[in-house]
Amino acid sequence: MPRPLVIDTDPGIDDALAILLALASPEVDLRLVTTVHGNVELARTTENALRVLHLAGRSDVPVAAGARESLVHPQPERAGHVHGAAGLGGVDLPRSPAPPDARPAVVALAELLLASPEPVTVAAVGPLTNVALLLRTFPDAAARIGRLVVMGGSAWRGGNVTAAAEFNVWADAEAAQAVFSSTLPTVMVGLDVTLPTVLDEGGIARFAAAGPIGAQAAAILGQYLDHARTSYGTAGVVVHDALAVTEAILPGVLGTVRRDVVVDTGLGPGRGQTLVDRRAVSAAPTAVDVAETVDSAAAVEFLVTRLASLDRPVPG
């Protein structure tokens, strides 16, 4: 039976791939998408989530808008230079016929968690503001999360938005600290495993050729390819969020070690850094399963194969 899944996201190019990957995976049942500020402003992340679901023929999945800003300090900048001003690499997907869910994201998520007879996996692939608010406002609901898979942070590779910090954690450091210091069963999928996981142009061409959904997904990646060449020196795109969703779909696909994680919430150059204690395995109830190893080739092949499958006819 498919496991219930929620994706908390700020689409964003790689967020769009992550949503499509979940929809292509029979192991999970995407029950809800919640949106948050991050790559672009909240109104755009919400609209983008609706349009991506519509692209895949899944406008039935509710989209609930969440936090429009971080908990304490305003996010210094968005990531339009990476994802395009509207967040999807300049691609104008058709509008969805479905409106956003009327409930705030935290309420929608709490109600789903409390009503679900089985544990729900939450893949948080944007700033962690919504999850931190859930912990504060609906702690009984938060306690029912079966597994929280977070795309964020770094154990040893440094940052991508600053020398120290990964973007999602940096965008709301206080929220990230609240989550990583909680007792939620959390997996941290950080830059240590995402940066080596590169989707090359050959892989993109494979799902682009599968049909209209794959072709649009490939078009969205155009600007990301240009950014990857200049920022990472790679002939492909780093699939940060899709790798986290892969771990949500196939638990254990990444090699993890339980570590204590603290987020730098100061206002200096280290703000947003995830300080991961790699001296020993932790037995603390607040320890985080930090992803430290990945079979990048297998992860990319999984993503490409699943995205190509979205355009296959459903057996009658």
Whether 140 contacts 133, CB under 8 Å: no
Residues 79, 271: Cα–Cα separation, whole Å: 17
Choosing from 37, 83, 227, 240, the catalytic residue is 240
Residues 9, 100: Cα–Cα separation, whole Å: 14
Residues 16, 24: Cα–Cα separation, whole Å: 12
> Does residue 240 have an active-site annotation?
yes
The residue among 29, 129, 86 whose CA lies nearest residue 223 is: 86
In this structure, how many other beta carbons lie within 10 angstroms of the beta carbon of residue 123?
A: 29
Burial class (CB within 10 angstroms; exposed 0-12, middle 13-18, buried 19+) of 125: buried
Burial class (CB within 10 angstroms; exposed 0-12, middle 13-18, buried 19+) of 282: middle
Active site residues: 240
